[in-house]
Structure 1
């Protein structure tokens, strides 16, 4: 497989060769018609000049010694008196008869060597001085030599071919240099990327803003991708470490009670029953945590949720009703304004509302009020869970949705640290968003926004 440098060089060279050779071929094909047209134009000009001059001067007498001067270096002249040759100049003697055999008053090609035309001078008072007498010239055959046409064409084609070959060679070398220099940043980037792929995650691709902007943009984009990948890997490692730590605590506790029983330390039935209750509690905690981890894994993998019409207002009413039964001493209110339909997975949306309400119950004092509100705003269904508790410090707000994060690390037994992470994952899986605002000493509000859906009757 050829490299991109080879492909670019070959492509550029092929294009340049095609253009140059195409131009050379066109020029070569055009040279002969151009030369032929030149000869015809020259003969037409000579014929016109001769007839016009004789008509203007009222005739002329040609001396024998002046005929070669009239013919010049490119013309031939034959003077006739009733088809008898009076004089000829500018032509080989042996060709005169061949020319006269085909000469006529129209332009005639003679064996590809001459272009001739006979001019009737009988009425133009043209005479030829033989030295002893003046003889009237009845016809003059004007001849343009065309034998040099082929030589000139070959010379031009040769010059074009040599020029095309030299130019193509120079351009190919220039293309190799230009492509090599242009791809040099990519070579550097590839070498650096290989080192990163081999495990050196501290490196990043060089970004040269003074060079090709597209290459610089590509390097910058890849660096961002590396940063995102490194951040994701760090988050995965931290997540695994946190999950291991969280699972280790109940596992250690349950294992301790079992080992105590195996060593015979739980002979008292009451003590044994207490131990089994502790083990059951820790196992339930582990089961809950593994279920939550599995749910987060499914949402991270983008697995589709159920899609059905769900009334968010009904979920809010049911959740508050259940919370009042479990916490009769707490003041929990709910405000809805009719139905609020969304498209989603009803059990998961109910879990969102339960987690937010449960989070408010867990982290606020008994005298705090909790309010659940469902409204419709600009084509969205908005769920707000507010409390009048102590509020959350501003430094803690950016970390609330991080997995296993707790404001007080010492309280490792207070929940799994996954509740708000699950809420965020489920809301985003439904195409929604979640935010939080809090004022210390006044309270906290979590706001969930979901795409609205028309009512079933609409």
Structure 2
């Protein structure tokens, strides 16, 4: 592209100027915009009210003037002689009606406050006064002309306009102040929440969102939800940091094993066949341990991030039988007894149910002594159905129970045992995703883990005991 390109002087520049000419800049502050809109709305309402009021009052005053002129005409048209003169001589002020009685364009009678002739000087026709409402009637050969002065009404309208103008200005000023105060009160929580977010961005920390509102309004709920969101993000961030640190710590050992054995394999010509096979086997065990660890971590994070799953009714009998078969294959010397209820059904997600059962059962197999026994019981309890897996191993020390579901936690009796330390953490996460839970009870004669599932409808009692 040519960097020295200059647009033509014709259309291009002209269009640019037109677009800039019609560019409208709005205030950036929401408070200023709300204040302008509130003041404009109040001024518009006051002006509209004033115009409607003036129009209505003007019509009323004009109708009243016409009605009063008709009343004057009715009075003088019925009077004669001395009575008529007395009536006419009562109208002496400018604000009184102006009355003429004519015959053949000659004035016979008139009120003292009138001019000699009510006619135009050039047209010889009746010309109404510009500030009056004129009434002209013919009766019995006489022409009655009544001018009702409108000057008092116009003065009244002028006073009304002045009062409404002052009121409108005061209302506009009060509206602007009220709008600014109202928008300040309304937007103050947003302003403080914005400052909280800016402070978090500046410090790169998750901090509580300030909620200045003491009422249960929309902004208060927004601040509460934003605080919950920040707390959730903080907990996830801390969890991710802990996960990264724990994963790095757990992966360090197999990686060091792999590196050490690779150093041995570098001296290919100096090691014998037995040493070579032992080294490769150690590398294979380390890689398998890493694969298991990464798989467990992915499973744990997948369950925790996806949240609750869709539940369906399942019979517990086949699920428990499959888990017992796998446990028996893992340690054929164990005596596993299943106390099962054939008709009991649960609400769960089948892959998660199998994985949770196996995680707890595998843990029981791991801590059972050679030739020991494991008992599996079903405990109906209200809307829940508990699956208790009881081993007869060394049990769990009381100080370890609060941490038993923590990732990578290995209790006092867990040193030297195989595994990644994630099995019970995965089981707890799987149960929570199915709206269930897991509890533990331990004595000196073994530990019992109970998986609590939601009970499916139409699950009837009835028990059977069968050894495996």
Q: TM-score range by the shorter chain?
A: 0.7 to 0.9
1:74 corresponds, among 96, 102, 107, to 96
Q: 1:438: Cα distance to partner?
A: 1.4
Q: 1:232: Cα distance to partner?
A: 1.4
1:351 corresponds, among 348, 355, 358, to 355
Is the deviation greater in 302-311 or in 38-47?
302-311
2:59 corresponds, among 4, 21, 33, to 33
2:106 is equivalent to residue 94 of structure 1: no
1:116 equivalent in structure 2: 135
Distance 1:6 1:451, change over 3 A: farther
Q: 1:368: Cα distance to partner?
A: 6.2
> TM-score, normalised on structure 1?
0.75
Q: In the aligned structure 1, how far is the partner of 2:67 from the partner of 2:396?
A: 100
Q: In the aligned structure 2, how far is the partner of 1:358 from the partner of 1:238?
A: 25
Paired residue secondary structure (1:89): coil
2:456 equivalent in structure 1: 452
Paired residue secondary structure (2:111): strand
Q: 1:4: Cα distance to partner?
A: 1.9
1:436 equivalent in structure 2: 439
Paired residue secondary structure (1:446): strand
Distance 1:226 1:306, change over 3 A: closer
Is the deviation greater in 312-321 or in 440-449?
440-449
Q: 1:279: Cα distance to partner?
A: 2.7
Paired residue secondary structure (2:118): helix
Is the deviation greater in 216-225 or in 356-365?
216-225
Distance 1:25 1:332, change over 3 A: same
Q: Structure 2: where are the runs of 5+ without partners?
A: 1-25, 460-468
Corresponding pairs, count: 428
Question: What does 1:270-285 align with in structure 2 at a 5 Å threshold?
Answer: 270-285=274-289
Contact kept in structure 2, 1:336 and 1:375, CA below 8 Å: no
Q: In the aligned structure 2, how far is the partner of 1:375 from the partner of 1:202?
A: 43
Distance 1:448 1:74, change over 3 A: same
Contact kept in structure 2, 1:47 and 1:119, CA below 8 Å: no
2:183 is equivalent to residue 164 of structure 1: no
Q: 1:213: Cα distance to partner?
A: 5.9
Q: 1:449: Cα distance to partner?
A: 0.8
Distance 1:335 1:18, change over 3 A: farther
Q: Which digits, 9 at most, give the CA deviation of each residue in 1:334-375, with x for residues without a partner?
A: 133225566766454322211111112223445864332457
Distance 1:115 1:441, change over 3 A: farther
Contact kept in structure 1, 2:403 and 2:409, CA below 8 Å: yes
Q: 1:238: Cα distance to partner?
A: 0.6
Q: Structure 1: where are the runs of 5+ without partners?
A: 104-108, 123-137
Distance 1:46 1:319, change over 3 A: same
Is the deviation greater in 374-383 or in 410-419?
374-383
Paired residue secondary structure (1:92): coil
Q: In the aligned structure 2, how far is the partner of 1:312 from the partner of 1:410?
A: 30
Contact kept in structure 1, 2:440 and 2:449, CA below 8 Å: yes
Distance 1:142 1:398, change over 3 A: farther
Contact kept in structure 2, 1:119 and 1:141, CA below 8 Å: no
Q: In the aligned structure 1, how far is the partner of 2:111 from the partner of 2:76?
A: 16
1:254 equivalent in structure 2: 258
Distance 1:177 1:352, change over 3 A: closer
Q: 1:418: Cα distance to partner?
A: 0.9
Contact kept in structure 2, 1:392 and 1:444, CA below 8 Å: no
2:244 is equivalent to residue 225 of structure 1: no
Q: 1:65: Cα distance to partner?
A: 7.8
2:406 equivalent in structure 1: 402
Q: 1:243: Cα distance to partner?
A: 0.7
Q: 1:236: Cα distance to partner?
A: 0.6
> TM-score, normalised on structure 2?
0.73
Distance 1:411 1:60, change over 3 A: farther
Q: 1:17: Cα distance to partner?
A: 2.4
Question: What does 1:54-453 align with in structure 2 at a 5 Å threshold?
Answer: 61-62=82-83, 67-70=88-91, 72=93, 73-78=95-100, 85-95=108-118, 113-116=132-135, 143-146=147-150, 149=153, 152-153=156-157, 156-157=160-161, 159-161=163-165, 163-180=167-184, 182-201=186-205, 203-209=207-213, 215-263=219-267, 267-302=271-306, 311-338=315-342, 346-365=350-369, 369-374=373-378, 382-387=386-391, 391-392=395-396, 396-408=400-412, 411=415, 414-429=418-433, 431-441=434-444, 443-450=447-454, 452=456
Q: 1:203: Cα distance to partner?
A: 4.0
Is the deviation greater in 283-292 or in 338-347?
338-347
Q: In the aligned structure 2, how far is the partner of 1:367 from the partner of 1:212?
A: 63
Q: In the aligned structure 1, how far is the partner of 2:418 from the partner of 2:331?
A: 18
Contact kept in structure 2, 1:115 and 1:146, CA below 8 Å: no
RMSD over aligned Cα, in angstroms?
4.4
Distance 1:80 1:308, change over 3 A: closer
Q: Which digits, 9 at most, give the CA deviation of each residue in 1:188-217, with x for residues without a partner?
A: 432332121133426433333568965455
Q: In the aligned structure 2, how far is the partner of 1:93 from the partner of 1:409?
A: 130
Q: In the aligned structure 1, how far is the partner of 2:188 from the partner of 2:311?
A: 52
Q: In the aligned structure 1, how far is the partner of 2:289 from the partner of 2:172?
A: 78
